[in-house]
Structure 1
Amino acid sequence: MSVMLMVLAAAYGAAAGLLIPRPAHRLSVEPEEEWRAACPEGHPITGVARGWLGRGRCARCGTYGPGVPATVTVTSLVCAALAAATGPRPELAAWLLAAPVAVLLVAVDRRVRRLPDELTLPLAAAVAGVLGVVGWLTGETGAWRRALLGGLVLGGFYLLLFVLRPAGLGLGDVKLALGLGVALGWYGWPTLVTGGAAGVLIGALYGAGLLLLGPEGRKATMPLGPFMISGAFCGLLLGASAAT
């Protein structure tokens, strides 16, 4: 059963990964700019949902943004790992729903150093909503309430960091922390602390590496979203495995 579940999750992740390059290209703009409506060569983007859904490569000139093989591989592996750690428990639905969005957020943040509200806030709402249904169906309403509180705690922590050092992170990171905190809080406070601390640690190690590169590394702008998501992913794997 677990192997079949992993295979199905990997197939789902691969299918979702095919759709990531197009919205990654469209959303990779500065805060005041309009979403991109054309490929890098200027060809109009059209298709399902006003051009948001469709193949990850422009039919006339090539890829939109991140390479399709990369997004397919990463999303597939992430979904398979989550399925392996969680097993057939119902909260897996929330993790599989969130995984492609998280990969998309990483792609956008790496390209333009921002986390769009169009992704972070719906992600938090969707994870909270799905976990609410899971809690109601399974009777684990206490876990759901803890998950919501976890979102507030992790979001509040990043809000404090933003107030203390606004040049080091943005409000997008704070909003992302809400959704990550909800997910981590489902498995308890140790999982929340582990996932949150892992994100900070991974980011700190990357930052230290940049400093070792010299002046050029010190001037580099470091996106926090990928590290926050990576830390939360590690926390979820540990929390889900412990709950098995």
Structure 2
Amino acid sequence: MHVYLIVGAAVWGIAVGLLLPRAAYRLAVTAGEPWAAACPAGHPVRGWLGPARCGRCAEGQRRYGAGHGAALGCALVCAALGWRVGGHPELAVWLLLVPVCGVLARVDLSVFRLPDVLTLPALGLTAVLLGGAALLPSHEGSWPRALIAAAVLGLLYAVLFLINPAGMGFGDVKLAPTLGLVLGWYGWGAVITGTFAGFLLGALVGLVLIATRRATRKTAMPFGPFMLLGTLAAVLLMP
């Protein structure tokens, strides 16, 4: 049964990963600008789901966004979650979060932004779905603790933003409560581990970039992907 879960989760990851590139491209605009409605050559982009390819561009210029790497990444993450979480109802919540987090990471890496159109609904839906999972007898987590952790992590990031607005975006503050729900579901140890892992990963990458002279101490870096990776690491490594 567990093997089927892992394979099914991987197939889900491939399916949603193939649908993400167009949405990531359209959302990857700076604040205040409308969502992208054309490819880099100016041809209209229709719809939100599917590959980032333009049929009207020349053969070598058709792809304008992420390729099959998004599908591979989603498949690996979903398979890992299927392996770690098993047949517990919260797995469905995590699998639904994977494509949202994939788009958020891609957009943040592209334009240093985490769109409200994804972060805010993700928070509400995750809270509701975890509440439903908590009603099922086979769940392994605490919904009240998840809600408290969401508030605590949101407050922590808000304080950090107020202390140093240049070092953290407000989108990170809005993403934090959703990750708090995920981590808090498993316990305060997971909250601490996931949060610390995110900051540690960000610091290590920053040091490597500085050491290789690809960045300086004042170079801006998107922090959302590190928050997401830290949360994933905490879930996969939980006892």
**Structure 1 residues 93 and 55, CA gap change in structure 2 (3 angstroms):** same
Aligned sequence identity (%) = 51
Show the counterpart of 1:153.
Answer: 152
The equivalent residue for 2:24 is 24
Asked whether the 8 Å contact 1:132–1:141 carries over to 2, the reply is: no
What TM-score, normalized by structure 1, do the two folds share? Answer: 0.92
Which structure 1 residue ranges, 5 or more long, are not aligned? none
Query: 1:43 is matched by which residue type in structure 2?
Result: H
Q: Displacement of 1:215 after TM fit?
A: 7.6
Q: C-alpha deviations, 1:115-169, integer Å up to 9, x for none? A: 0011111111121111000112338698101001111111111111101100001
Q: CA deviation at 1:54?
A: 2.9
- Asked if the contact 1:23/1:53 (under 8 Å) is kept, the reply is yes
User: Which one-letter code corresponds to 1:18 in the other structure?
Assistant: L
* Matched residue, 1:190: 189
Q: CA deviation at 1:52?
A: 1.1
Write the distance in 2 (CA, Å) between the matches of 1:153 and 1:43. Answer: 45
Amino acid at match of 2:56: R
Aligned residues: 235
Distance 1:140 1:109, change over 3 A: same
Match of 1:56 in 2: 52
Q: Cα offset for 1:45?
A: 1.2
How far does the alpha carbon of each residue in 1:99-124 deviate from its partner, in whole angstroms, 9 at most, with x for none? 11111111000000110011111111
State whether structure 2 residue 13 is matched by structure 1 residue 13. yes
Alpha-carbon spacing, 1:134–1:161, altered in 2? closer, same or farther (3 Å): same
Cα distance in 1 between the residues matched to 2:34 and 2:139:
42
2:88, 2:138 within 8 Å by CA — same for their partners in 1?
Answer: no
Instruction: Give me the whole-angstrom Cα distance separating, in 2, the residues matched to 1:210 and 1:226.
Output: 16
Answer with 219-228 or 96-105: which moved more. Answer: 219-228
RMSD: 1.7
Matched residue, 1:169: 168
Cα distance in 2 for partners of 1:70, 1:40 equals: 20
User: Residue by residue, what CA displacement relative to the aligned partner does 1:17-51 show, whole Å, maximum 9, x if unpaired?
Assistant: 011110111001010101001111111111xxxx1
Unaligned segments of structure 2, at least 5 residues: none
CA distance in 2, matches of 1:40, 1:154: 38
Structure 2 residue aligned with 1:210: 209
1:184–1:232 contact (8 Å) kept in structure 2: yes
CA distance in 2, matches of 1:169, 1:124: 19
Following superposition of structure 1 onto structure 2, how do residues 78-227 of structure 1 map, counting pairs within 5 Å?
Answer: 78-138=77-137, 143-214=142-213, 216-227=215-226
> Where has structure 1 moved over 4 Å in runs of 4 or more?
139-142
Q: Distance in 1 between matches of 2:73 and 2:138?
A: 33
So what's the TM-score if we normalise by structure 2?
0.93
Q: Write the deviation string for residues 180-228 of structure 1: whole angstroms up to 9, x where unpaired.
A: 0101100011011111110011011111122223484335321000100
SS in 2 for 1:30: coil
Structure 2 CA distance for aligned equivalents of residues 140 and 89 of structure 1: 5
